[in-house]
Amino acid sequence: MEKSLAFALAQDQTDELAGFRSLFHFPKHAGKPVVYFCGNSLGLQPVTAKDAVLQELEDWANLGVEGHFAGRNPWLHYHKLLTAPTARLVGAKPHEVVVMNNLTVNLHLLMVSFYRPTTKRYKILMEGGAFPSDQYAVESQVKFHGFEPDNAIVELVPRAGEHTLHTSDITAKIHELGDTLALVLLGGVNYYTGQAFDMQAITAAAHSVGAKAGFDLAHATGNLLLELHDWKVDFATWCSYKYLNSGAGGTSGVFVHEKYAQDNTLPRFAGWWGHNEQERFLMKKGFQPMYGAEGWQLSNAQILPMAVHKASLEIFDKATLPKLRAKSLRLTAFAEFLIEAFNAEQDQVKINILTPRNPAERGCQLSLVFDKKGKAIHQQLTATGVVADWREPNVIRIAPVPLYNSFEDVWRFYEILKEVIK
């Protein structure tokens, strides 16, 4: 690895995924594309998204309600168009996934089924400082069942002087809680530190004590190689607007392991779209859940956001996750290399990287802590054409996304950062 623009350009010239950059719209600053390192918050818009939505708007205009049956992509079964690419994205069988609702709605629906506390087994294990929406969802679920959050929710915290968790500490806590533990619920990648958890090991540990294992994959789907079926994860949910580039507030995905595909004893909050589709329009009483994850659906498909999501998933199918992950490892390593070079070159400001240095324990995000003036530096970076994000109390998150970011982007960030510090 070399500290030079020539090295960055050479990497881009040999990058087999470089052409995918042209499939996305980049915001501009001073007439040039910005350095967009915020795909972990909102992914860029696919060039094909507009036409995908316009097609559904045209079918609505021309067909009205008949768009459900006579549209170019009939709306009645629109969500099924997303099933196969979603399964490929998360390492699942098609009947284990469905696209529906939004992430926190889905988290609640899944906890109805998979958090079944008793007077003895009622605790939930989650990471300390989990994304607030997850914290609120878990707190409200615990209260709904009549438990006190301070007693029922167990939070994992790093060792003294450290910022991230050890897998051995997570599994040790699982075994310590033993038969009091009902559910392990972690983010696949922690939104703040960027740490990727060993979901396979954590799931195995949870099952060994009789608990369920679920994951919020908002920062993992489209970022990591996932094998949810083989890892025997009980359930997972994720959003589509970050690495999956499907627009602000975009639709969500759900995974339910096939061992529950026909388990009609699981409690769930039901809706008519989850009912046996052969009898759905008979309008009868008596809920009969669909086989697999589709049995957790409530309402008919959100056509317009799903149209954007479909356009994005088509790009992922062309790029493929193994190739994206391979590029991500090199791209993020280059960013780490240049940040270390920045620290060595000057003593005005030092950057500490919270995210694990082990590539297997991170995706493409690096969480940077500046020893001084962090917020001011973030504001100056923004004013100079770098789009990253600030997270209180002291972190700038950057995410060189392999689908549309380049090695030259990483070099530009390094050069702009040096100018800002001057």
124 and 183 in contact (C-beta within 8 Å)? yes
List pLDDT tens digits, range 61-116: 999 999 999 999 999 999 999 999 999 999 999 999 999 999 999 999 999 999 99
- Where are the domain boundaries for CATH 3.40.640.10 in the chain? 53-318
Q: Name the DSSP class of 253.
A: E
Mean pLDDT of the chain: 97
For residue 305, give the nearest of 317, 313, 295 by alpha carbon.
313
Element at 182 (helix H, strand E): strand 181-187
pTM above 0.95, yes or no: yes
List pLDDT tens digits, range 266-285: 999 999 999 999 999 999 99
The fraction of the chain above a pLDDT of 90, given in percent, is 99
pLDDT at 241: 98
Burial class (CB in 10 A: 0-12, 13-18, 19+), 153: buried
List pLDDT tens digits, range 201-228: 999 999 999 999 999 999 999 999 999 9
163 and 193 in contact (C-beta within 8 Å)? yes
- Where are the domain boundaries for CATH 3.90.1150.10 in the chain? 5-33+321-421
Top CATH class of 5-33+321-421 equals alpha beta
List all residues 6 or more positions away from 345 whose beta carbon is below 8 Å from its beta carbon.
418
Confidence of residue 422 (pLDDT cuts 50, 70, 90): confident
350 and 321 in contact (C-beta within 8 Å)? no
Which residues lie across from 386 on neighbouring strands?
Answer: 35
Which CATH number does the domain 53-318 belong to among 3.30.43.10, 3.30.110.60, 3.10.20.70, 3.40.640.10? Answer: 3.40.640.10
The fraction of the chain above a pLDDT of 70, given in percent, is 100
DSSP string, 309-372: HHHHHHHHHHH-HHHHHHHHHHHHHHHHHHHHHHHHH-SS--EEE-S-SSGGGB-S-EEEEESS
pLDDT at 141: 98
pLDDT at 162: 96
